[in-house]
Amino acid sequence: MSEMESLRVSLNKEAEAYRVIQSEMTKLVTTRTRLQSQVNENEMVLEELNRLDDEASVFKMIGPALIKQDLVEAKSNVNKRIEYIKGEIDRLDKQLKGLESKSKDKENEVMKAQRKLQSLVQGS
């Protein structure tokens, strides 16, 4: 295999690895967006619960049935849900930072391989 062929194979391999990383990043961003939307919804629910009187009736839908729930318990459950989702968002943010770093490295490797191949082609 000639040096040019070897470089082309290497370039294709690096470019594919870059595409895979970009695809993973897209999935993470989509998931993060969905989770952020859930946080916003739960924060709105919490705001509504905070507006209620202490004696107000609160119901939770479980399947097709509405079950009466204590207001304090409802607030606690919503707060826990918000905490959990925010933890997941933080975890995704860390993964995204790691992938961004890998993506930059792969992008540099692809550009380096392209320059080598281009100089070989021009030198021929």
**Whether residue 17 has pLDDT greater than 70:** yes
DSSP string, the chain: --HHHHHHHHHHHHHHHHHHHHHHHHHHHHHHHHHHHHHHHHHHHHHHHHHS-TT--EEEEETTEEEEE-HHHHHHHHHHHHHHHHHHHHHHHHHHHHHHHHHHHHHHHHHHHHHHHHHHHHH-
* Domains, in order of start, for the chain: 3-118 (1.10.287.370)
pLDDT, one tens digit per residue, over 45-60 is 999 999 999 889 999 9
| pLDDT for residue 122 | 82
| pLDDT for residue 79 | 98
Mean pLDDT of 14-29: 95
pTM here is 0.79
Residue that wins the pLDDT comparison between 121 and 56: 56
